[in-house]
Chains A and B, each alone.
Chain A
Amino acid sequence: MLLSLSVFLLSAAVLYYEIVVVRLLALSHWQPFVTLGISTALLGFGISGTILMGTRNILFPKRRIYYPLLASLTALSLRPVLSAAGNLRLEPGLIIRDPSQWLNLGLLVSVLFIPFILASLALALPLLEKETVGKYYGWNLAGACAGVVFALLGMEHLDPSRLAIPAVVISALACSVSLVHYYGKPLRYGGLTIALLIPFVLYPSKPISFGPYKDISYGLLLPGSRVVLEEWGTNGMLQVVLAPSIRSASGLSMRYRGGLPDQGALYRDGDRIGTLILAGDETDKDLDYLQWQTAAAPYHILMPGAKVALVGFDGGEEVVRARVHEVARVAVVEPDESIGRMIRNHPELFRRWIFSPGFVSLVLSDVRSFFLSGTHENDAVIYPISGNMASTSAGISGAAENYELTVEGVSAALGTLSPNGLVAIAGWNQAPPTGRWKILNLLTEIPGLFKDDGFTGRVCLVTSWSTHMFLIKNRQFTPEELSRLSKFCDSRGFSLKESGELATLTSGQIGSTSDLWANTLDLRPPRDNRPYPWHTLKVSSLRYLLGGTREEVFPRIEWGFFFLIMTLVLSGTIAVILLVISRPGGGSPGASIPFFLYFSCLGIGYMVFEILLIKRSGIVLAPPAVAAAYVLAPFLLFSGLGSHTAGRIVIHPIRTRAVFLLIIPCGYAAYAALGFMVSISGPARLFLIPVLMAPAAFLMGMPFPLALKSFSTRRETLVPWAWAISGYMSVVGSSLAGVLAVTSGFGALLLLGTACYLLAALLFGKVVR
C-alpha cells in the first residue's frame, strides 16, 4: 500500500510540475514555443524506458535502493531545472534565421528532460512486478489526476515564484513513503527527507522575468512606468502598467485632432490584451477619440438606449465606448474570473460611472452558453478587437481554439438579437487581409446572409488604415442606416463596403499566380469542429517557408501553427531515433512489428482522444487552462481506475477485444455530449462532464496494463520496451493531434483514435501470445 501511495505522490508531483513549467515559461516565451519545449521534454518518459532496457538488471533487483534514490533526485532537480530553463535566453522569432537558437532550444529541452526521466524511471520500476502492474499503473494515473488538481489550486493560491515548491515537497514525500515501504522506520526517514529538503524549499526564488518578445518588456521600459496590479491565477498573470506615455487608439482616424485620456495597459502573461481608460475629468471630453475609431461604427446604426452585449471585457475600453454612445445597458460576457476580480477589487482603475448600477452587468460565463441561455435580448452583440496587432499579424494564436468566431458561434450571437439588432466583429488589418477573408467566408455559411454568389443586404464592412469592423444585421440595412454609416465613414476617412461590394475569397482567388504565396492560405470558414479563426496557413506553405528568402518568410509565418508543426517534427524525429536505438534484439518477442504497433497505437490513441476531448470542452469551459484541467483530471482518474481493474481481471481474448471496441463508441459519445453541454446550466454541467468522460477513460486505462500483465516470459525486457514505446508515442500522438485538429478538424482525430484502437484490438492476440 505504501508503494502505491508513493507512486501516486510521485506521479502527482510530475504532472503538477509539468503544468507549472508550462505556465511559468509562458511568461518568458510565446505560448506555442513553450508547448514545443515541454512536449519535446516529455519524451523523457520514453527515454526512461530506453534507459531501463539497458539497466533493468541493475535497477530492478535493487529497486529498494533505486526507487527512493530516483524519487529524491526528482525532488532535488525540480527547482534547479526550472531556474536553468528560465535563464536560457531564447529568441523564438529568430529560430528560422539563427542556427544558434537551435542550440538554445536543444539546451532548453535537455534541461527540461531531467526530472521527467528521473521520475518516470522510478515509476517504471514497480511495473516490472507482474502481479501488481495494473495496480501501480492505476495509481500512476490517479496520481497524475491529483497533480492536475494540485496545480489548479497552486496557481490560484501561490505566488509564481513559489509555484514549484509543492512539486518538490510532494516528490520528497513520495521518496519518504517509499523508504518507509522498503525499510520501515517512518520517523527516521521522514526526518531525513525533511532535513534534505529544507535547502531546496527555502532557497530564494528569482523574480519572474519576461522575455524580450513580451509586450510588457517594452511597457516596463517606459519612463515613469509602474505596475499597479498583479493578479496570478489559473489563467496566467494579469498585470496593469501605468505610465504617462501609454497611449493606445487602434485605427484612430487621421482626421482626429484631439488628445487621448490617461490610459493604462493590461497584460496577460506579458502580452498586451487591453487598454484601461483611467479616471479623468468629469466632463469626459477626453473620450472623444472613442468616436473616431472603426469600433464606433455600430453605434451609428443603433438608437440611443440600445442594449449591447460585449464579448470580453479586456481593459474596459469598449464599455466606455458604449457609454459614450449612450447605450442603456451593457452585458459583458467574460470567461476569465481574474478579469472579474480585477474589476471588483480595483474599481479605482476605471471611471467611476462605468459600474453605475444598472449600466454594466458582468456575466462570468463561456460565451456560447450566454448566447444560448436566452437571458438577454440584445440590440447589438459586439466582438471587440482581440489580442493585439502584433500577435495577430504574427499568428501567435493560429493554433488556438476559439469557439466565438465560428459559424455556429456567430449564428448563436445572431440568435440573441432583437428584430433590428446587429452583430459587430472587429479585427486588425493584415497584409494580405487573411483574417478579413476568413470572416467573410464564415459569413457565407450563415443562413440568410449569402445568396446566389453574393451577400444579401445584411452585411457591411467599415475599414480604417489598420482596423476593420463587420456589421451583420438581423434584417437588411435601410437606406437611412447606410446613409448614417456613410456619413460616419466620410467624416473619419474610413471606407465603407456594402453587401454588393463584398466578395468572398478562396485561396485560389488570392493574388496573382506569380505571387509566391498564392494558393497557400487556408481560408475555410471556422466551424465548431475546426475552431481556428486565426489559422490561415496551409501545410503546403511549408515548402515556401523552407525555400523562401528570410525577407519573404519571416513576415508570413504563422508562428502558432509553425511551432505546432515543429513540435511534431522534432518530437517525431527524436522518438524515431531513440526507438531505433533502443529496440530489442531480433529474437525477442518485443522486436516484432505487432508488439511495436500495439503499444504505439495505445500511446497515440489515448492522447488523440484525450486531446480531442480537451479541445472540444473549450466550447463550454473557459478559460483554456481550466477547460484542460477539468477534462484531464477526471480522465486520468477514471483511466487509473480502469488500469487498477485491469490488474484484477483474468485475460480473456474475446472479452479483452470487447474493451477496445467499446472505447470507440464511448469516445464518440463523450465528444458528442460535450457539444450538448452548452444548453445545460453551469453546476449541472460541472457534474456531468466528468461523468461523460468516465466510460471512455475507464476503458482506455485498461489495454496497457492488460498487455503488460500477459507477458509470461522475458518480462524484464518487454515491460521497459513497452513503457518506452508508449512514452514516445504519447508525445508524438499529442503533437499529431494538435496538427490534425488545425488542418483537418476534430473528425480526423476521431478517425485516428478509432483506427488506433481497432488496430490495437486486432493486434492484442499477437502481443499476449
Chain B
Amino acid sequence: MVRRQIEARGIRDKAVLEAMQEVPRHLFVPEKVRSKSYDDRPLPIGLGQTISQPYIVAFMTELLQLEPDHRIFELGTGSGYQAAVASRIVKDVFTVEIYEELAVSAAQRLAELGYDNVHVKGGDGYYGWDEKAPFDAIIVTAAADHIPPPLIKQLRPGGRLIIPLGGPFSVQQLVLVEKGTDGSTKERSIIPVRFVPLLGH
C-alpha cells in the first residue's frame, strides 16, 4: 500500500512513510470491511463517518511538517487511524470526537495497540482543546464551511493547520493555513478532496 499508493504518488517525507508502514490500518476498520483495509479509498466506520483514504492521511500528515517534539491537535478522531499515524512522528496527539461512541472505541483501540501518546476526548472539537493549547499543528479530518476561530487561536505562531473546506458529497478544497510569528494567517488551497462533513456545518 505504502509503495504503490503513497510513495508512488509523491509522498517523500520519510517519517510519514515509516508511520504509514507501521500503523496497521486493518485494525482500525470494522470487521465487515476489513478485507478492503488496504484499498486506496475511504471506508465506512459507522454513524455516517469514514476512515480516510490512506493517501490523503499521508498527504495531510506530510503537509503539517511534523517534528518529534510537536504537540498536535486533531478534530475528528473517527477510528483513530490518523491520530495513530501522527503519533509515530510527534510527541503528543490530542484528538476530539463528537460521537461519544466513536471516541470511546477509538480510545480503547489506541490504548490496546499501545499508542500511549494519543489522548482522546469525546466532545465538540470546534472549540479545540483549550487546556492543552497551543498546538504546533492542527489537523481537521472533516469538511467545514469555515475554519473554527478557536482553532486558529490555539495554533502556535509558526504552526500549520490543515482542513478540508466545502460541503458533503462534493469537491472540497484541502486548505493549508500557516500562522505567522506575528499571529497573522495565510491560507492556500492544496488539492480537491472529499470528506464527510464536520457536523454542525
Contacts and interface: CB of A to CB of B under 8 A. Distances in A.
Interface of A: 93, 212-213, 215, 217-218, 221-223, 243-252, 254-259, 388-394, 430-431, 465-466, 493, 554-555
Contact of B173 (A250, A256, A259, A431): A431
B168 A215 contact: yes
B194 interface: yes
A292 to B, nearest CB: 9
A390 B168 contact: yes
B10 interface: no
Interface stretch (B19-27, B29-37, B83-91, B146-154): B146-154
A339 B146 CA distance: 26
Contact of A389 (B147, B149, B170, B185): B170
22 contacts: A218-B199, A221-B47, A245-B98, A248-B200, A250-B146, A252-B146, A252-B149, A254-B177, A255-B184, A256-B149, A257-B149, A257-B152, A391-B167, A392-B167, A393-B171, A394-B170, A431-B173, A465-B175, A465-B187, A466-B145, A466-B146, A555-B171
Contact of A388 (B100, B124, B167): B167
A222 B189 contact: no
Contacts of B100: 223
A244 B127 CA distance: 12
Interface in B135-188: 145-149, 152-153, 165-173, 175, 177, 184-185, 187
Given A222-B199, A431-B173, A465 B165 contact: yes
Nearest to B173: A431
A243 B189 contact: no
Nearest to B197: A218
A256 B152 CA distance: 9
B124 A245 contact: yes
A555 B192 contact: yes
Given A390-B168, A391-B167, A466-B166, 7 more contacts: A218-B199, A221-B199, A251-B146, A254-B152, A258-B149, A392-B167, A466-B145
Contacts of B166: 389-390, 393, 466
A213 B168 CA distance: 8
Contact of A254 (B98, B147, B196): B147
B48 A217 contact: yes
B201 interface: yes
A93 B175 contact: no
Contacts of A250: 145-146
B169 A218 contact: no
A217 B124 CA distance: 18
A212 B189 CA distance: 28
Closest 7 CB pairs of A and B: A390-B167, A393-B170, A252-B146, A245-B200, A389-B167, A555-B171, A390-B170
B113 to A, nearest CB: 27
A458 B185 CA distance: 31
B126 A393 contact: no
A218 B167 CA distance: 12
B199 A245 contact: yes
Contact of A212 (B48, B153, B184): B48
Interface in B86-104: 98-100
A217 B145 CA distance: 17
A612 B173 CA distance: 38
B149 A259 contact: yes
Contacts of A256: 149
Nearest to A258: B149
Contacts of B201: 247-248
A431 B200 contact: no
Contacts of A389: 145, 166-167, 170
Contacts of A215: 168
B200 A254 contact: no
A249 B194 CA distance: 20
Nearest to A493: B185
Given A250-B145, A389-B145, A255 B168 contact: no
Nearest to B165: A466
A390 B165 CA distance: 10
B190 to A, nearest CB: 11
B200 A555 contact: no
Q: Which of B48, B153, B167, B184 has the most CB of A within 10 A?
A: B167
Contacts of A213: 169
Contacts of A212: 48
A257 to B, nearest CB: 5
Interface in B44-85: 47-48
Contacts of A248: 145-146, 200-201
Contacts of A257: 149, 152-153
A223 B98 contact: yes
Contact of B146 (A218, A221, A249): A249
A250 B168 CA distance: 14
B189 A465 contact: yes
Contacts of B185: 254-255, 493
Contacts of A254: 147, 152, 177, 185, 187
Nearest to A263: B200
Contacts of A388: 145, 167
B119 to A, nearest CB: 20
B41 to A, nearest CB: 9
A218 B145 contact: no
A249 B147 CA distance: 9
Contact of B48 (A218, A259, A393): A218
A251 B172 CA distance: 13
Nearest to B199: A222
B48 A431 contact: no
B200 to A, nearest CB: 4
A99 to B, nearest CB: 16
Contacts of A223: 98-100, 124
Nearest to B161: A254
- Which residue, B100, B146, B149, B177, has most C-beta atoms of chain A within 10 A? B146
Contacts of B149: 252, 256-259
B104 to A, nearest CB: 14
A56 B167 CA distance: 54
Contacts of A217: 48
Contacts of A251: 145-146
Contact of A218 (B168, B177, B192, B194): B168
A215 B168 CA distance: 8
A34 B187 CA distance: 39
Nearest to A394: B170
B200 A246 contact: yes
A247 B125 CA distance: 12
A393 B167 contact: yes
Contacts of B189: 431, 465
A403 to B, nearest CB: 25
Nearest to B179: A254
Given A218-B48, A245-B200, A257-B153, A555 B126 contact: no
B100 to A, nearest CB: 8
A321 to B, nearest CB: 15
Contacts of B146: 248-252, 466
B191 to A, nearest CB: 9
Contacts of B165: 465-466
Interface centre among A93, A246, A250, A466 (most CB of B within 10 A): A466
Nearest to A30: B169
Nearest to B150: A259
B157 to A, nearest CB: 14
